[in-house]
Amino acid sequence: MKHIALCTALLLLGHSLATSSQPPAASSANSPTISPTIRGLWVDSFGIGLHNPQEISDIVSVAQKMGANVIFAQIGRRGDCYCNKASVPRVEDPALEKDFDPLENLLEQAHAAHIQVHAWMTTTSIRSDKVPLPKNPLHVWNAHGEDEIGLDNWLIYRRDGTAVESSDYYLDVSNPYASSYIAEMYASIVKNYAVDGIMLDRVRYPDDGQNVGGGNFWGYSDPSLSRFWKETGAKGAPKPNDPRWLEWRREQVNALVRRITLEVKAIRPTVWVSAATIAYGAAPKTETEFQKTRTYSEVLQDWVQWSKSGWIDLNVTMNYKVASNPNYVKWFDGWNSFAATLEGPKSARQASGTALYLNTVPDSLGQAQKSLSSLKGWVAYSYRTPSSAGESTRNATWDALAAGLKSENVLPLGDPKVFSAVRGTLSQNKRAAVLAPQQHLTGRAATGIRLELWTTGANGRKIDSVLSDGGGNYGFFNLPAGPLELRIKGLKNPVRLERKLGEVLTLPVVAF
């Protein structure tokens, strides 16, 4: 358990740093009024873009041409960062200028142009067979990869015992140590940089094409199965399409999304939390139909609930469709139409992410126009490859795209909707009450415990219910005004509380 001790210490240190001082000030890219339009640019880090100040200057110039009010920059690829001040190591990229901090420089240049920067990080992917192994001993692959055992091994495994999907290795979101590591990864960015938002990517179970029609074949590590058996009473290895097993794993993803949002908004409530989400195949028309999609049933990603529950501020569907294919046109329009039904006063904003690299300039302009019309939100993927013609025509393509986009009326994005939430931790250790709130309690955490939030009085009503995660953590969002009470299964007396509008209320550890 040598690495668990080391990384837990690092995580606790990182959490202390993330809560002990004031975060960076809000950016000049914000405006008092939220723009009715989201126009974004994805900048991936698998090629040109973030290696030096000139590359970043070129990004900002393109964003200005296209009228973007937000840049989603991939600062985290696989357990690393294109930055110098994070809980994960600096990326080992030979093209990166020595000592240069890409995120810091991007923030300076983009904010000067009144463009927001959202830190896009790959949530669960940590290694690829296609690139050299990371050298840094603190990289999560070296500390918690395939050479470790038990809870010290954070990888997710298939039913057949393999851990590689295509060429990538992923963290298991049901492992409480891995989920804490992921949450701290995002929190450290919000703590140390004046980012306007964070973006979650690959926050789901892996999909290797073998899941189709048969549930999901991932999540069969010993720690994951042990938790499932303990919390549900099930016995034996479940089948990939076992309904209870599917629901339990989907809840692990949900819990991670809640945890990340609560961690970063406890630091800065006005930071945007967005997710790049799956939109495979034909689109649903209703929420019931959504539960039959590959998104929900195969990769176990319930972004409908994330959107409606206030767990994220912005949902960007990866609506990657070839516009020249009539069937794909129907799918593209369908996903936009379905996403539009989720918009509401307490729900996440919706935007359509389109694949420039799959389409010609006229087709991409058509998809952008549709997205901005139906959702008032469009994000272009990506800066590096803006058309099906490839990277070699990048500059000419961006000029052509910019000429076709009307950018003069795009306002700064502004802050997300006002946020209020409560979070806490459950422990089976009676001494846990003396620990700091949200301190990592794995090994003595009360996991899978049902919690309900109620209004008080004779006409009290249940507002919501959640399960505590693998670390005993829980949280509630969109709290109403007035006295509330938290009812915890197994405890006689409820916990009394009252929301703080625009803040995350952190309760003391509750010990059983």
**pLDDT tens digit string along 6-20?**
444 343 333 333 344
Residue 382 and residue 494: Cα distance in Å, rounded?
A: 49
At a CB cut-off of 8 Å and minimum separation 6, what does 124 contact? 156, 170, 171, 173, 182, 202, 203, 204
Average pLDDT (428-440) is 50
Confidence bin at 439 (pLDDT 50/70/90): very low
Angle of helix 53-65 relative to helix 394-404, nearest 10 degrees, comes to 30
- Helix (H) / strand (E) containing 505: strand 504-506
Domains and CATH numbers, the chain: 2-21+35-404 (3.20.20.80), 421-511 (2.60.40.10)
At 269 the pLDDT is 96
Report the Cα 154 to chain-centroid distance in Å. 18
The pLDDT tens digits of the residues spanning 370-426 come to 999 999 999 999 999 999 999 988 999 999 999 998 776 788 999 999 989 999 999
Please state, for a pLDDT cut of 90, what percent of the chain lies above it: 81
Alpha-helix runs per DSSP H in 113-242: 140-144, 176-192, 222-232
Rg for the chain (alpha carbons), in Å?
Answer: 22
Q: What is the pTM of this model?
A: 0.93
Count of Cβ atoms closer than 10 Å to residue 319 Cβ: 29
Q: What is the DSSP letter of 392?
A: G
The pLDDT tens digits of the residues spanning 64-87 come to 999 999 999 999 999 999 999 999
Angle at the Cα of 301 (from 308 to 488), degrees rounded to 5? Answer: 60
8 A C-beta contact, residue 87 and residue 67: no
